[in-house]
Structure 1
Amino acid sequence: MQLQNEAGYDYHQTRLSLERDWREKQLILNQEKRTLGRWWLTALVLVLVFAGGIAGANYLNSNWSYLSFLAGAGILAFLVGFISLGRVTLMSSWKHQTEIADIKNEQQILEEVWLQGLETQQYHQYYRQIVVPGVIEDYRQQSKVNRVLHFISQLTVIITSLLVTGLTSGLDTKLGWQIPWAAPLLSFIVSLITAIMGFFKFRERSYHMQQTADYIEQEKTALELGIRHYKEYRNKPDEAFSEFAERVEQSREEQTKRQQQLEQSTDTKEVA
């Protein structure tokens, strides 16, 4: 018993140390992401101004070529600045992401070894307090990533389509540009991004993952409060946990099936 307590103490100390390292690196990574977000926001503003200049010159019959020229120069300056300064932040964020992944792998190995010595009640508590919240957070994080990817892809298609419309309407001639390949290249980018959105289905993936995370969290709350279908198990904790675990694992299996259905539908369209 003493050896088991000592092993448990060592596990929790090591886990706390890894958790502290992970949170410190995650904090730095979040700061770097915010910095990169400012870079991309600046780029988006410049592109919007550039697109606005094209639209104004094309549809309002106004001399907006000067505004387009300034925006184009701003985009070029942005690219130079990002290559010289933003690239360092980007490389650093990739490094911290790798370090965080290594820490999580070490945590997983540590937990697998520790779980082998747990009793049934201890494992139930671990599953309810550690595993399930981790599953919920993972689904929500994946949902957020897919939602952001869908938003960026959709916005890129809209802006690029606007540029194609302006260029194919003779705006390049009005501005004195001699870039005959610009419109076909932008059209190809629109088609490519649209195909990627149709293949990966970012919006559908985001919706299903968020739905699964919300359902599991509702089940966890119902178990803790002893409500809904857990009322009859208030004095039977083992049976309540069994019901809870079955519902959680069933929802995860359904999410996996939905994921496979999305992939199969994409493969079917490719064959057709």
Structure 2
Amino acid sequence: MTTDVLIQHRREIADLKQRIKNRRLQVIGLYGAPVLAIIVLVAWAALKVFLWLHSTMPSALSGILGGTAFLLGVAFIAQALVEFNNDFIDVWRDRQTSVRELRLELSLAEERHILEARRRTPPPMDRQSSYKERLPGEISRLREESRHYRRMHLLMQWLLFISSSAVSAVTAWYDPPQPAKGALIGLGFVVTLITAATGYFKPRERAFNLQQTADTIEQHANALELGIAPYNLSEDERNLELFATTVEGLRAEQRMREQQLDQPQQGQQQVI
């Protein structure tokens, strides 16, 4: 019964968060479409006055601007009908509801969830067991992020290798270098950009730290499952308590390493 009630509260909170996202997009589309249409019409008129006052404006440009303004107008009319016409009441779930009201509902739902969880809080033994069962998902998340940063690092390195080699190749191929001046400028920009991004985001270090944390947590989880040191105590409650404390320490250490990577080099030395 306790689990079902808490799950229902979580579903309500997740649903409200999604409704807030949807409503925010609806409001942006409803009030943004006419503003963009006016901007397009003003830009159309400004181009006509300042550039083609005594001549004919290119038909392609006129068609693009006119078509864009027409589509934005049609979009505004359609959204206004859905928002204010009761015949379309089932199209938008939260029509004529402000985002502020939905946020208030979300705050109340989260407060109800906290109060209900506090009233139905299970004993520490059960919470620690549940914590152990949630760890596979945490390990998978850490490894997925590690793979993401590893792929980012490899992509940056390959782009850097190719661009650096291409600079030398293009320079040697063209003599005089005038036809390849644009290519050299572009390749040099790519090399500089990748070098700066690699030094700033440090994807290799992030991937290593995430993979190391995931492996260490998995090692402790296997030790607890097998009942080997340091989780070979006689009481399961003490083993679970030690396991939760150790894993939380590893996660805190991982967050600290991420914060150190976000700091500039001088700040990292001060933190260390």
Question: TM-score range with shorter-chain normalisation?
Answer: 0.5 to 0.7
What corresponds to 2:206 in structure 1?
205
**Aligned mate of 1:118, from 101, 108, 121:** 121
Q: 1: distance between equivalents of 2:213 and 2:181?
A: 49
- Gaps spanning 5+ residues in structure 1: where? 17-108
> Does the C-alpha gap of structure 1 residues 137 and 168 become closer, same or farther in structure 2, counting only changes over 3 Å?
same
Distance 1:123 1:149, change over 3 A: same
Counterpart residue identity of residue 258, structure 1: R
The alpha-carbon distance between structure 1 residues 264 and 241, as it changes in their structure 2 partners (threshold 3 A), is same
Equivalent in the alignment of 1:106: none
User: 125, 131, 137: which is aligned to 1:127?
Assistant: 131
Instruction: Write out per-residue CA displacement over residues 140-167 of structure 1, whole angstroms, 9 at most, x where no aligned residue.
Output: 1111110000000001011111211111
Between the aligned residues of both structures, percent identity stands at 35
Deviation for aligned residue 1:260 = 2.2
Structure 2: distance between partners of 1:14 and 1:133: 24
Asked whether the 8 Å contact 1:157–1:190 carries over to 2, the reply is yes
* Residues paired across the two proteins, number: 171
Relative to the length of structure 2, the TM-score reads 0.54
CA distance in 2, matches of 1:196, 1:168: 25
**Where does residue 258 of structure 2 map in the other structure?**
259
Runs of 4+ in 1 over 6 A off after TM superposition: 13-16
Q: Are 1:212 and 1:252, in contact at CA under 8 Å, matched by a contact in 2?
A: yes
Tell me whether 1:157 sits opposite 2:160 in the alignment: yes
Is 2:246 aligned against 1:243? no
How far off its partner does 1:10 sit? 5.6
Aligned equivalents of 2:253, 2:9: Cα separation in 1: 35
Deviations 1:177-231 (A, max 9, x none): 8242210221111011011101111111100110001001111111111101111
Question: Kindly tell me: are residues 136 and 157 of structure 1, through their superposed partners in 2, closer, same or farther at Cα, counting changes over 3 Å?
Answer: same
Cα pair distance change 1:268/1:184, threshold 3 Å: farther
Q: TM-score, normalised by structure 1?
A: 0.54
Match of 1:180 in 2: 181
- What residue ranges of structure 2 are gaps of 5+ in the alignment? 12-109
What is the rounded CA distance, in whole Å, between the counterparts of 1:206 and 1:186 in structure 2?
A: 27
- SS class of match (2:230): helix
Aligned match of 2:3: 8
Q: Whose helix proportion is higher, 1 or 2? A: 1
Instruction: Describe how 1:90-129 pairs up with structure 2 within 5 A.
Output: 115-116=117-118, 117-120=120-123, 121-129=125-133
Q: Choose 1 or 2 for highest CA Rg.
A: 2
| CA shift for structure 1 position 246 | 1.0
